[in-house]
Amino acid sequence: MANFVPADEFDLVIFGGTGDLALRKLLPALYHRVGDGQITGDSRIIAASRRDVARDDYLQSVEQALRSNLPDGEFREEQWANLRGRIHYARCDATTPEDWGALVGLLDGRDHLVRVAYLATAPRLFGPVAQGLSQNGLITPSSRIVLEKPLGRDFESAGKINDQVGRCFAENQIYRIDHYLGKETVQNLLALRFANSLFEPLWRRGAIDHVQITVAEDLGVGGRVEFYDRIGALRDMVQNHLMQLVCLVAMEAPSSLHHDSVRDEKIKVLRALRPMKGEQIRSNTVRGQYRAGAINGEAVKGYLEELDGKASKTETFVALKLEIDNWRWSNTPFYVRTGKRLPAKHSEIVIQFQDVPHSIFPEQGFEIQSNRLTIRLQPDEGVELSVMAKEPGPGGFELRPVALDLSFEEAFDIRYPDAYERLLMEVLRGNPALFMRRDEVEAAWYWIDAIIAGWEETNHKVESYVAGSWGPAGAVSMLDRNGHTWQPEG
Ligand code: BG6
């Protein structure tokens, strides 16, 4: 049975309160937490944005967003009435000093409550909002600030943002979001590795042949095409989500779940990543861009058509071969890939164990497949271990792989909360373990920047792939050269 401990009373100010993230993710997350009784007393949510919107009109747009984003039957009048009563609206252009009055008025006399500023805005506003909060005396000892990604577009810009925010908030008050860390299955990876003694002796070179991480999306870039064209898949997905997954798979056991214990171990992995340069850029990185194709039988446009024919070398797909230079992972490649307009929304981590050293079974038309542990992140969250088994029946040995399959949904029989529900509650409770520390973000950018520079220097090719396929041919040959194959097959 889930344990829903209420948060202390709070004021949560969402900058960018009329934006897509607030309406599609944050307010539905708060709606569910209200439903489970975790938001109590006089806690309030204050949406702040540049727009001049009356509170009632804002409430209407929230109600509409909830009705269209919640699964059928989950909108309940009573629950909405509870949330609605807590929502306020303040017009605030963060860059205009005289524009903070409404917010100051709403927060007046409430310094004793937990105060969270959630910046669901463009990163160029992170510094000005932090400064505005400071200049208007709105930062209290129990204040926290939440920064949404992208945190800059390279090492240098991330450093500048961190400096600007760091002048107003202490590091332990800054919560940098990577929503993948709030996903239940990502956290289950910690449980799998560190609450079971079975895996640890095998979790290393010698037993593991290689690791694969796939984060595939069937969606294209949608309404974000202009933004996305300046960013690309490497910055949008690899620098944060995929690097975090690599860290959780590869890190040593932290001594506890204390936030700095976990983050200290993650950063060691980032620092052990072999820098990509020269020949490695050519052989260990693949960029792709989708052209028109079909997904689930429906025709979809190519990326350049979505850009109205504008020329672009922005990648919508990336595959990388990573080497981690430490004792545990020496010569054990980690392959990662992510892309838009792939056949399905499908994310998983595959731990591929080594082949048996010698087969005692007579060759009878079957192959002994090496064991594979698959951690399915989405959809159908779960863990699957493939083992070889004998087919029942007399006469000889016919072996085939079978799966020991654990579906979390079936095992626990509860609704899977969205990552934002957990992350918001962790911020309100003051637990930064699931958020990125400054040095982590900067170490990840440092490693990614070398790839971007390498791509520019070598004019690295952007291979085209058909929407609905598993990406460009180069991603398949990158593994093929090492005798490996993507799972699911590319
Ligand atoms: C975001 C990216 O961080 O993650 C998006 O900016 C991407 O481009 C999204 O679609 C994927 O998240 P999820 O939770 O749907 O896998």
pLDDT (0 to 100) of residue 490: 64
Q: Which of 21, 149, 185, 241 to mutate to test ligand 1, by most ligand atoms within 8 A of the CB atom? A: 241
Q: 395-407: string of b/e by CB count within 10 Å (b at 16+)?
A: eeeebeeeeeeee
Q: Which atom of ligand 1 is nearest to the CA of 217?
A: 10
Q: What is the mean pLDDT of residues 142-162?
A: 95
Rounded to 5 degrees, φ, ψ at 419 are -55, -35
Q: Find the 93 Cα to ligand 1 centroid distance in Å.
A: 27
Between CA 251 and CA 33 the distance in angstroms is: 32
The DSSP code sequence of 81-142 is HHHHHHEEEEE--TT-GGG-HHHHHHHTT-TTSEEEEEE-S-GGGHHHHHHHHHHTT---TT
**In this structure, what token pair is assigned to residue 369?**
């497949």
Q: Which atom of ligand 1 is nearest to the CA of 224?
A: 8
pLDDT (0 to 100) of residue 346: 94
Angle, to 10 degrees, between the axis of helix 243-250 and the axis of helix 184-194?
Answer: 20
Tell me which residues have their CB closer than 6 angstroms to ligand 1.
149, 179, 217, 236
pLDDT at 150 over 60: yes
Q: What is the 8-class DSSP label of residue 354?
A: P
Q: What is the mean pLDDT of residues 47-65?
A: 96
Q: Whose CA is nearest to atom 9 of ligand 1?
A: 237
Q: Which of 148, 237, 238 to mutate to test ligand 1, by most ligand atoms within 8 A of the CB atom? A: 237
Query: Confidence class of residue 464 from pLDDT cuts 50, 70 and 90?
Result: very high
Q: Which atom of ligand 1 is nearest to the CA of 228?
A: 8
Q: Which atom of ligand 1 is nearest to the CA of 377?
A: 16
Query: Confidence class of residue 318 from pLDDT cuts 50, 70 and 90?
Result: very high
Torsion-angle region of residue 430: left (phi > 0), alpha (psi -120 to 50) or beta? left
Q: Find the 217 Cα to ligand 1 centroid distance in Å.
A: 8
Q: What is the mean pLDDT of residues 101-111?
A: 95
pLDDT (0 to 100) of residue 439: 96
Q: Find the 2 Cα to ligand 1 centroid distance in Å.
A: 27
Q: What is the mean pLDDT of residues 325-329?
A: 98
Q: Find the 339 Cα to ligand 1 centroid distance in Å.
A: 10
Q: What is the mean pLDDT of residues 427-451?
A: 95
Q: What is the mean pLDDT of residues 473-482?
A: 96
CA distances from 468 to 238, 290, 304, 320, 336 (A): 21, 9, 16, 20, 19
pLDDT at 282 over 50: yes
pLDDT (0 to 100) of residue 394: 81
Strands 382-390 and 334-339: unpaired
pLDDT at 1 over 60: no
Quote the mean pLDDT of the chain. Answer: 93
Active site positions, annotated = 241
Q: Whose CA is nearest to atom 4 of ligand 1?
A: 237
Q: Whose CA is nearest to atom 8 of ligand 1?
A: 236
Q: Find the 132 Cα to ligand 1 centroid distance in Å.
A: 29
The 10s digit of each residue's pLDDT in 177-199 is 999 999 988 888 999 999 999 99
Q: Name all domains of the chain by residue range, CATH numbers in brackets.
A: 10-148 (3.40.50.720), 184-480 (3.30.360.10)
Q: Which atom of ligand 1 is nearest to the CA of 240?
A: 3
pLDDT at 414 over 80: no
Nearest Cα neighbor of 270 from 148, 449, 147, 432 is 449
Q: Find the 216 Cα to ligand 1 centroid distance in Å.
A: 10
Q: What global pTM score does this model have?
A: 0.94
pLDDT at 3 over 70: no
Q: Whose CA is nearest to atom 13 of ligand 1?
A: 180
pLDDT (0 to 100) of residue 6: 81
